[in-house]
Chain A
């Protein structure tokens, strides 16, 4: 069984996330996906759904910065979109400061 106790003592690197047209951004640790980081900061720029890459609610475009992504459902992120920085916020992990733009959810 995995629980979170191990996370307490190792502070992961954190990056600043700017949101286009929003006065406030949030901080995202390298080991925490962008969507959960936003929720922990009590912010709501991006719609929150399954937090697992399955529902397509949390589509964003990353305009600037580096990140790592986990596999995203092809029902919601189409071929060619990752190259434009269009991703699911719950599947990416910041590797530098980022500028993001929330997109409408896909159906």
Chain B
């Protein structure tokens, strides 16, 4: 939070069929539909989130991610960061309030990896879903499927991970929590896991020739048992699986990967490393990438590296 960026705010995901996508994110994963707009977009939240929504689904004839946004602490900070981006040589686009329902103005920019990011300061807060603001119960009854607790991070593939990492560190105040470097003397950064708080990552990048590719959006669960239960639900619904349940070396999370009905990868995970600003980045070398990604198998499946939307 060094420069006032607080947390991931939302991600807009392109889907080929809206109804199928809503069944995936709501019936299977347990998000809650909060609203729709006149562009046909559907707004979803996970139950512990205080803002009105964190995932926006948009029907399109191409899968992938439109943009990911971070919430900053105030409108003043939004202005400051906008200027810092411009001074750094990054082109920004201003989106008016309510272009996304109940969201304040947003400042959009494109990272060297080709992904669109946004900063915003205001969004309607509806509070945690299904429990009272005062004297809250432990959790709400009536959650569906995996009952994910929050939208946690995205992993994105594109070129120039070192440049993108510098931008996020120097302009937006992210810390490099974990990283993958080449084992040679150049120690080139090819994987970058960036955080604005104590989480292991709020956004991550892996070096890839083609710009703007979406690897996954990830959602948090409390326990390993919840991850196993998610795996059962994936089988019960014949949802395409990628890999898991397993553990990541990087971030140390316990995880499972699967696909939405448009081929966008989803992750649910539990546990994992924490980060303080005085921590050295946790470092893995590219020759150990198998173990870094899939700690038990210790080999990368081709799909992890090349199946993107």
Q: Which of B28, B63, B210, B259 contacts A51 (CB 8 A)?
A: B259
Within 8 A of B (CB), among A66-86: 70-75
Nearest CB on A from B14, distance (A): 9
Whether a CB of chain B sits under 8 angstroms from the CB of A44 is: no
List B residues at the A interface (Cβ < 8 Å). Answer: 16-17, 23, 27-28, 61-64, 144-145, 210, 236-238, 240, 259-265, 303, 306-309
Q: Are B23 and A54 in contact (CB under 8 A)?
A: no
Bound together, the chains give a CA A2 to CA B19 distance in angstroms of 13
The secondary-structure label for the interface of chain A is loop
Contact assessment for B62 and A75 in the assembled complex, using a CB-CB cutoff below 8 Å:
yes
Q: Indicate whether A74 sits within 8 Å of B62 (C-beta atoms), given known contacts A49-B307, A50-B307, A52-B240.
A: yes
B263–A52 touching, CB < 8 Å: yes
Q: Is the CB of B307 within 8 A of A3?
A: no
Q: Number of A-B pairs whose CB atoms are under 8 Å?
A: 78
How far, in angstroms, from A55 to B265 measured CA to CA in the complex? 10
User: In the bound complex, what is the Cα–Cα distance between A63 and B62 (angstroms)?
Assistant: 25
Given contacts A3-B237, A74-B61, contact A50 B263 (CB under 8 A): yes
Q: Cβ of A53 and Cβ of B145 under 8 Å apart? A: no
Cβ-defined contact, B307 with A1, below 8 A: no
Verify B265–A1 contact, CB threshold 8 A: no
Instruction: Establish whether residues B236 and A52, one from each chain, have CB atoms under 8 Å apart when the complex forms.
Output: no
Given contacts A49-B307, A50-B240, A107-B210, contact A70 B17 (CB under 8 A): yes
A73 touches B17 (CB 8 A): no
Contact A3 B236 (CB under 8 A): yes
A34 → B minimal CB distance (Å): 14
Listed A/B pairs (25) with beta-carbon separation below 8 Å: A2-B23, A2-B27, A4-B238, A50-B263, A50-B264, A50-B265, A50-B307, A51-B240, A52-B16, A52-B63, A52-B260, A52-B263, A52-B264, A53-B63, A54-B16, A54-B64, A54-B262, A54-B264, A55-B308, A57-B307, A71-B17, A71-B61, A73-B62, A74-B61, A75-B64
